[in-house]
Amino acid sequence: GAELGGGSPPSPCLSFPPQHVLGLTGGGGLSPLPPSEVTPSPGGSGSFHYSLEEHPKAALAIMNQLRLSGQLCDVTLRVRYRRDVPPADFPAHKVVLASSSPVFKAMFTTGLREGGMEVVPIEGVHPRVMERLVEFAYTASISVGEKCVLHVMNVGTGGTPP
């Protein structure tokens, strides 16, 4: 058989765009293909570069669907605003939270005890504020009423609620 890096012809599975492998084709009721770009490599080495501009947005949308259905979540944020009210739970994916917030990135990647916890308690944040922040992590979009703006901005930047 052919070895990697040898002079053998390229594998037939690489002769079509990765969107087919990833299931991003327009068939089966999925949305039409987003714009993509295929460019030949410089110097005529026979390889091509393929990019799918909408991949990050589509990937986050799928991760949000997984979060909403409770699939593959590896952390639950247990948010308590007041002691006399039961806490609210927000299942999520650490990698999504860490990629969208320096606070979560530090929490999950720098050896803090929260990094190894499945349930992370968060005190003093209103559940609606945390819900908006988690939604933002997955959608890059947020809608906030006038009364919540300061709370969201303070919590979103690592501060404490006013």
Q: Which pLDDT value is given to residue 34? A: 54
Q: What is the pLDDT of residues 8-25, one digit of tens each?
A: 444 444 444 555 445 554
- Overall number of domains in the chain: 2
Of 17, 58, 54, 19, the closest CA to residue 35 belongs to: 54
Cα separation, 126 vs 112, whole angstroms: 23
Is the model's pTM score more than 0.75?
no
- Residue 5, pLDDT above cutoff 80: no
Per-residue model confidence (pLDDT) at position 73: 97
| pLDDT > 70? residue 78 | yes
> Is 121 in the same domain as 92?
yes
Q: Do 90 and 79 meet the contact criterion of CB atoms below 8 Å apart? A: yes
pLDDT digits (tens, 9 = 90+) for 102-158: 999 999 999 999 999 999 999 999 899 899 999 999 999 988 776 665 555 555 545
Same domain, 71 and 20: no
Domain region containing 26: 12-53
* 64 and 46 in a common domain: no
Q: In terms of domains, do 84 and 116 share one?
A: yes
Mean pLDDT over 89-106 rounds to: 96
Name the DSSP class of 154.
H
